[in-house]
Chains A and B, each alone.
Chain A
Amino acid sequence: MYIKTMAEYAANGETPEVLFWVGCAGSFDQRAQKITKAFATILDKVGVQFAILGKEESCTGDPARRAGNEFIFQMMAQNNIQLLNMYGVKKIVTACPHCFNTLKNEYPDLGGNYEVIHHTTFLQSLIDEGKIKLQGGGTFKGKKITYHDSCYLGRANDIYEAPRKVLEILDAELIEMKRCRSKGLCCGAGGAQMFKEEEKGTIRINADRGKEAVDTGATVIASNCPFCMTMLTDGVKESGKEDDVKVLDIAEMIAQSMA
Chain B
Amino acid sequence: MRIVQELLFVILFAAAVYLFSKKVRQIRRNILLGRDKDLNDHPDLRWKNVFLLAFGQKKMFRNPLVAILHFFVYAGFLIVNIEILEIILDGILGQHRLFVPVLGSLYPVLVGAFEVLAALVLAGCAIFFVRRNILKLKRFISKDLDGWPRSDANYILITEIVLMVLFLTMNAADQALQARGVEHYAVTGNLLVSGLFTPLFSGFSDGTLVLIERGCWWLHIVGILCFLNYLPYSKHLHIILAFPNAYYASLEPKGEMENMPAVQQEVQLMLQPELAANAPASDTMPKFGAKDVFDLTWKNLLDAYSCTECGRCSAACPANITGKLLSPRKIMMDTRDRLEEVGRNITANGTFTDDSKTLLRDYIKEEELRACTTCNACVQECPVSISPLDIILQLRRHLVMEESNAPAEWTGMFSNIENNMAPWKFSMDDRDKWAMEING
Contacts and interface: CB of A to CB of B under 8 A. Distances in A.
Interface of A: 1-3, 5, 22, 24, 26-29, 33, 36-37, 40, 52, 54-55, 57-59, 61, 63-72, 74-76, 78-79, 82, 101, 104-106, 109-110, 151-152, 155-158, 182-186, 188-205, 208
A212 to B, nearest CB: 11
Contact of B257 (A26, A58, A66, A204): A66
Interface stretch (B1-9, B160-168, B199-207, B370-378): B370-378
Given A67-B406, A67-B410, A68-B396, A59 B417 contact: yes
Interface residues of B, number: 70
Contacts, number: 222
B409 A196 contact: yes
A192 B257 contact: no
Contact of A67 (B252, B288, B400): B400
List the 7 shortest-distance A-B pairs measured between CB atoms, nearest first: A156-B255, A202-B323, A191-B374, A68-B400, A68-B396, A201-B323, A186-B375
A76 B417 contact: yes
B356 interface: no
16 contacts: A22-B431, A27-B426, A27-B434, A54-B435, A66-B396, A67-B414, A70-B401, A74-B264, A75-B271, A151-B374, A156-B256, A157-B254, A183-B377, A199-B324, A200-B323, A201-B324
A106 B393 CA distance: 15
Contact of B401 (A2, A54, A69): A69
A166 to B, nearest CB: 21
Nearest to A101: B255
A57 B431 contact: yes
Contacts of A59: 417, 421-423
B371 A199 contact: yes
Contact of A197 (B62, B373, B409): B409
Nearest to B366: A199
B401 A27 contact: no
Interface in B393-420: 393, 396-401, 406-407, 409-410, 412-414, 417-418
Nearest to B394: A68
A5 B432 contact: yes
Nearest to A74: B267
B183 interface: no
Given A28-B422, A70-B401, A78-B271, A63 B413 contact: yes
Interface stretch (B17-25, B37-45, B217-225, B313-321): B313-321
A28 to B, nearest CB: 5
Nearest to A98: B255
A205 B318 contact: yes
A67 B423 CA distance: 12
B260 to A, nearest CB: 5
Nearest to B400: A68
A13 B208 CA distance: 98
Given A55-B429, A57-B421, A191-B375, 15 more contacts: A1-B439, A24-B424, A28-B426, A55-B431, A67-B396, A79-B271, A151-B374, A155-B254, A155-B255, A155-B379, A185-B318, A195-B423, A202-B322, A205-B318, A205-B373
Interface in B341-396: 367, 370-377, 379-380, 393, 396
A101 B430 contact: no
A63 B288 contact: no
A78 B318 contact: no
Given A28-B424, A54-B432, A155-B380, A71 B318 contact: no
Nearest to B264: A74
Most buried by A among B326, B393, B424: B424
B96 to A, nearest CB: 52
Contacts of A188: 318, 373
B401 A203 contact: no
Contact of A3 (B397, B398, B401, B438): B438
Given A27-B431, A75-B418, A155-B375, A68 B255 contact: no
B263 interface: yes
B247 to A, nearest CB: 21
A55 B318 contact: no
Nearest to A29: B424
